Amino acid sequence: MAPMTADELRALPAIVNLTTAARALGCGRTLAYGLARRGEFPCRVFRLGNRYLVPTAGILHTLGLKVASAAVAVAVAVEPNTPTAPDGDSADSAQTQRPQARAGAAAPDR
């Protein structure tokens, strides 16, 4: 697979699949999936079910190319490969926190 040109990279949508990100970075699909599984992919990777998605801003930043928009650059500002929970907490703290009872809900019997 041929590497992407700078113009092709800048034309990518905001988020791409891992295979496209691998092509942009000049590596193969198998290597990319292995790196993503180990949390070693060179830019931020989001896991949705069995899909890996990569923000294009992270790819551009990794390659040293200018990001077109300041709003897109926010995706790069987050530390790479740090899983986050939907509320913005780290995944580790989200897994260890106990759910809080809703106001007015009865406490569970123990």
Residue 21 placed within a domain: yes
Closest-CA residue to 78 (of 61, 96, 97)? 61
Render pLDDT for 83-100 as a digit per residue (tens, 0 to 9). 554 555 544 444 444 445
Tokens 């928009």 belong to 69
CB atoms under 10 Å from CB of 9, counted, come to 18
Number of domains in the chain: 1
Residue 91 placed within a domain: no
Residue 98 placed within a domain: no
Render pLDDT for 39-94 as a digit per residue (tens, 0 to 9). 999 999 999 999 999 999 999 999 998 876 544 444 555 555 555 545 555 444 44
Residue 97 placed within a domain: no
